[in-house]
Chains A and B, each alone.
Chain A
Amino acid sequence: MKLVIGIVRPEKANDVLEALYRAHIRGFSLMRVQGHGGETERVETYRGTTVKMALAEKVRFEVAVSDEFVQSAIDALCDGARTGEVGDGKVFVVDLEHAVRIRTGEADLFAVTPVDDGPEAAT
């Protein structure tokens, strides 16, 4: 089991959602975050005050998947979020120790993607 974390442009979030859906990944959460990843800083001016916006708005996806689904989750995040310009974001994959589905109490592989068919269907 892995936790796939994708930090993407907010304007590409819908494309990522669509790509995840096409990859049959139905469970994920997303949150709005701010970050900095080497993109050029935008200058904004409010009356006499000029500022460089060092943090850019991003959307962070978290997808908990069985090992078989790791690659398709990464692909979906990359395909959905890529524009080719600096600032497209990053994907991180970390080990996931334990997962529980709150409604049923199912644990681990039964609690992560794929949600519909259980882990056997993935193979």
Chain B
Amino acid sequence: MTVTQISSGDTAWMMVATALVLMMTPALGLFYAGLVRSKNTLNTFMMSIGALGVVTITWALVGYSLAFSKGDGFVGGFHNVFLEHVGFGAQHGTAIPQLVFFAFEASFCIITAALISGAVVERMRFSTFLVFIFLWSILIYPVLAHWVWGGGWLETHGTLDFAGGVPVEMASGFSALAAAIAVGARRDYGRLALLPHNTVFVLLGAGLLWFGWFGFNGGSGLSTGHSSVLAFVNTLLAPACTLVVWFILDLLRDRKITAVGAATAIVVGAVGITPAAGFISPTFAMLLGALAALPSYAFILWRPRTRLDESLDVLGAHGLAGMTGILFIGLFAELSWNGVSNGLVFGHPAQLGWQAVAAIAGPAYAFVGTFVIIKLLGLVMPLRVAALDESIGMDVIEHGEQAYTDSEGAILVISDTFQESIRR
């Protein structure tokens, strides 16, 4: 193996990209917090913040190693546990230090775990959620990341996934489905209208997510080369098309363009382009953006009429749009743009086959794995708060704080000695 020189340009961009992706997790927290009722604002936001803590640690301890160190086709090995052999040397196949690669990939695992919280907001016990993402970020994400990026069986067979259609988007979507079923619906679901309490948060969160997504997709080329440039520009084009198609769908449905819909469309478009970002031409990225709106729009319209309380539609926004993107590569990947492979339309039908395999295997593993983890967790600790506590609100019950508090009626609790000392 030849020793690769570190490129300062690549490294500089990847450090910025890492920071951009890390920002997406609090942005997601803001997006989710706006979508829930005011009494659950902090708890919902804290689920994303929780991932920043817990998942960073699991990633450093073992997750990174299971995803990216040499193993078999299913999962990586233990070569890099506790950041062993992760230093300033060039990451294999890139011109950036292993440490930067580690940190960039960490930010992906963090936001994926945080995404699942959308399925269980307003009822799941916070401590149980933290234990859940601890286990999930060891048992589920690294396996799927290994499959498509770490030398696993999908990568070996030629499945293309630029920035995480399998381990991030479909994994979070189908894990969310499993989590919603395993934890159960909110007690008020289907009885009361459960409305977003602050749509400005939702719009701002979506805007910041899009901003961060330039690092997410633009960084996934791990360089400043052609694929990164292509991915960066496609991240601009695709969500814009999704947004406008969503406007049209909203107009057709109700003659009104909705703000929550617009925020959702931005996420759906960015998700759709994620797996395909560095593999398709800008023109086809615009087509993908437009098409990605359709299945997600239909599903998000239909889902609340069912008993499935997948509360913030992680499956509709991430699972389905991720699947659309993964399959789209199989059709419209273009060798002249990506230097890797053609899709069906450009004469390589086998590509679509392996994209389809990924679109089945990834969701299946995420769904089954998550369902088993939560069911087993339910045997040793309560999954949700008590019914009365759920109606009082998670912020007060789980965190002893409120998002919107005034000091009326708040009596300062101070020790006697302190009280005496200020009297003197």
Contacts and interface: CB of A to CB of B under 8 A. Distances in A.
Interface of B: 191-192, 388, 391-393, 396, 400-402, 405, 407-413
Interface string A37-53: 00001111110011111
Interface string A7-48: 001011010000000000000000000101000011111100
Interface of A: 9, 11-12, 14, 34, 36, 41-46, 49-55, 83, 85
A50 B411 CA distance: 9
Contacts of B410: 44, 51-54
Given A44-B396, A45-B400, A45-B401, A51 B388 contact: no
A46 B396 CA distance: 12
Lowest 6 CB-CB distances: which A-B pairs, in order?
A55-B409, A11-B391, A51-B410, A50-B413, A52-B411, A54-B409
B343 to A, nearest CB: 52
Given A46-B401, A55-B408, A85 B192 contact: no
Secondary structure class of chain B's binding surface, majority of residues: loop
9 contacts: A11-B392, A14-B191, A34-B408, A41-B411, A42-B400, A44-B401, A50-B412, A51-B412, A53-B409
A113 to B, nearest CB: 24
Contacts of A36: 409
B388 A43 contact: no
A46 B395 CA distance: 13
A34 B409 contact: yes
Contacts of B409: 34, 36, 53-55
A11 B407 CA distance: 21
Contacts of B401: 44-46
Given A9-B391, A34-B409, A44-B400, 11 more contacts: A36-B409, A44-B396, A44-B405, A44-B410, A45-B400, A49-B412, A50-B413, A51-B412, A52-B411, A52-B413, A83-B388
